[in-house]
Amino acid sequence: MPRPEAEGEAGGPAAGRPARAAGLLRRIGSWTVALAAVAVLLLGAGFGWFVWRLPAEEVALDRNADGIVVLTGGASRIFDAMELLAAGRGKRLLISGAANPASTSGEISRLDPRYARIVGCCVDFDGSQNTVENAMETRRWADRHGFHSLIVVTSSYHMPRALAEISHQLPAAALVPFPVIADKVRAEAWWTRATSARLVFSEYLKYLAVQTRIWLNSAPDPSSAAAYPSATRTKSIHPS
């Protein structure tokens, strides 16, 4: 005759534990899949919004500013910024970054002698290595010259992240975007080329990371330059 304890073990509450555990695991798995699907949908919707905001054509400026800052990369950015300076759109130009060989006074003057005089009087350079350093050096430069409005020149896909970083460093400044559209991007839809699509999507992910960091740290830290020892102080180029 079986013991009551054994009968309880076979048909009592303990027998339902494996089934309940399996059900719980299935529910956790279902919720995980659902949350992952929602995350993918939100990421895709955000990417669509990001792409929709990217300018497809160069803009016509309707105002001047105290200064102009160009974040280096493509050579066309530098010469578009030089044209703005020559047209009197700003009092001075900061060429921020060492990403392009043309970002020196001698090389700019050699490539376009028309700018030799204006480079000597009104152009400053720094050796920033990334967009965070660009923004910090822009803040120092604007503070030193007492500028409260800036025309920001960079590529169209880089503009949202550049504006986010600079406005975080200079929250009271008026920023006027001047996006540069590369000839290759203008000539063909970026989504038809895998390299261009990866570039734009990568920039979108970087933009999300910047916005998340800014949200977590809403106030710019005046001493944050210590965290980026590679950033160099801006230097003015004057006639010798």
Quickly list DSSP for the chain: ---HHHHHHHHSGGGGHHHHHHHHHHHHHHHHHHHHHHHHHHHHHHHHHHHHHS-SSPPPP-S--SEEEEE-SSHHHHHHHHHHHHTTS-SEEEEE-SSSTT-SHHHHHHH-GGGHHHHHHHEEEE---SHHHHHHHHHHHHHHHT--EEEEEEETTTHHHHHHHHHHH-TTSEEEEEEE--HHHHHS-GGGSHHHHHHHHHHHHHHHHHHHHHHHS-S--TTGGGG-TT----EE----
What is the reported pLDDT for 238?
33
Tell me, yes or no, whether 193 and 229 share the same domain: yes
The top-scoring range by mean pLDDT among 11-20, 49-58, 88-97 is 88-97
> Is the predicted pLDDT of residue 113 greater than 80, yes or no?
no
Tell me, yes or no, whether 45 and 155 share the same domain: no
Contacts of 129 (CB under 8 A, 6+ apart): 97, 98, 230, 231
Q: Residue 194 — pLDDT band, cuts 50, 70, 90? A: confident
Tell me, yes or no, whether 92 and 142 share the same domain: yes
Tell me, yes or no, whether 75 and 185 share the same domain: yes
CATH code at position 171: 3.40.50.620
Q: Residue 234 — pLDDT band, cuts 50, 70, 90? A: very low
Tell me, yes or no, whether 98 and 126 share the same domain: yes
Q: Mean pLDDT score of the chain, rounded to an integer?
A: 78
Mean per-residue pLDDT for 43-52? 76
Tell me, yes or no, whether 126 and 227 share the same domain: yes
Tell me, yes or no, whether 48 and 83 share the same domain: no
Give this prediction's pTM.
0.73
- Give tens-digit pLDDT for 119-174: 888 999 988 889 999 999 999 999 999 999 999 999 988 999 999 999 999 999 99
- Give tens-digit pLDDT for 9-21: 455 555 567 777 7
Find how far residue 69's CA is from the centre of its chain. Answer: 15
Within a domain: 107:
yes
Tell me, yes or no, whether 152 and 87 share the same domain: yes
- Of the two residues 5 and 92, the one the predictor is more confident about is 92
Tell me, yes or no, whether 94 and 44 share the same domain: no
- Give tens-digit pLDDT for 208-233: 999 999 988 865 544 444 443 334 44
Within a domain: 58:
no
- Of the two residues 22 and 227, the one the predictor is more confident about is 22
Count of the separate structural domains present in the chain? 2
Gyration radius of the chain's alpha carbons? 27
- Of the two residues 60 and 155, the one the predictor is more confident about is 155
Structural domain containing residue 161: 67-236
